Amino acid sequence: MNNEKTTCVIVDDEKLARELLREYLEAFPEIELVGEASNGNDAVALIDKLNPTLIFLDVQMPGMTGFDVLDDITHEPYVIFVTAYDQYAIQAFEKNAVDYLLKPLDHDRFNQAVQRALKRKKTETANIENLLGGLRPQQTPGNFESHVFVQKSEKLFSLPVDEIVHLEASGDYTIITTKSDQFVSSSGIGKLEEIMNPDKFIRVHRSTIVNIHFLKEIERHFNGSMVVKMQNGKSFPVSRTYAKQIRKRVV
Task: Specify the pLDDT at position 12.
Answer: 97
pTM of the model: 0.54
> Does the residue 137 lie in any domain?
no
How many Cα atoms occupy the beta-carbon half-sphere of 41 within 13 Å? 2
Helices (H), ranges, the chain: 15-25, 40-50, 66-72, 89-94, 107-135, 189-193, 240-247
For the segment 185-218, what is each residue's pLDDT rounded down to a tens digit? 888 898 888 888 888 999 999 899 999 999 998 8
Instruction: Please tell me the total number of residues recorded for the chain in this structure.
Output: 251
Share of the chain above pLDDT 90, in %: 51
Q: Is 141 within the bounds of a domain? A: no
Domain end position, chosen among 73, 105, 130: 130
Least-confidence region, from 56-70, 121-135, 148-162: 121-135
First to last CA, the chain: 42
Q: Given this model, what pLDDT does residue 96 score?
A: 83
Residue % of the chain over a pLDDT of 70: 88
Query: Is 40 found in the same domain as 124?
Result: yes
Residue 186 and residue 79 share a domain: no
164 shares its domain with 60: no
Among 101, 130, 159, the domain boundary falls at 130
- CA–CA dist 75, 73 (Å, integer): 6
Average pLDDT over residues 127-145: 53
Whether 64 is in a domain gets the answer yes
> Residue 135 above 50 pLDDT?
no
Q: What is the mean pLDDT of residues 23-45?
A: 95
- Residues in Cβ contact with 24 at an 8 Å cutoff, skipping those fewer than 6 apart: 105, 107, 110, 111
- Comparison of pLDDT for 248 and 193, the residue scoring more: 193
Provide the greatest CA pair distance for the chain.
75
User: pLDDT confidence of 133, banded at 50, 70, 90?
Assistant: low
Q: CA 125, CA 3: separation in Å to the nearest integer?
A: 11
User: Which candidate, 116, 2, 7, places its Cα nearest to that of 55?
Assistant: 7
pLDDT at 171: 79
Q: What pLDDT does residue 251 have? A: 57
Number of independent structural domains in the chain? 2
- Assess whether 153 and 224 both reside in one domain: yes
For 97-128, the pLDDT digits (tens) are 999 999 999 999 999 999 999 988 877 666 55
| Of residues 12, 21, 114, 152, the one with CA closest to residue 69 | 12
162 band by pLDDT with thresholds 50, 70 and 90: very high
The confidence score (pLDDT) of residue 125 equals 64
Res 139: pLDDT: 46
Q: What is the pLDDT of residue 76?
A: 83
- Find, among 216, 236, 232, 215, the residue nearest to 169 by Cα: 236
Tell me if 170 is assigned to some domain. Answer: yes
Beta bridge partners of 173: 170
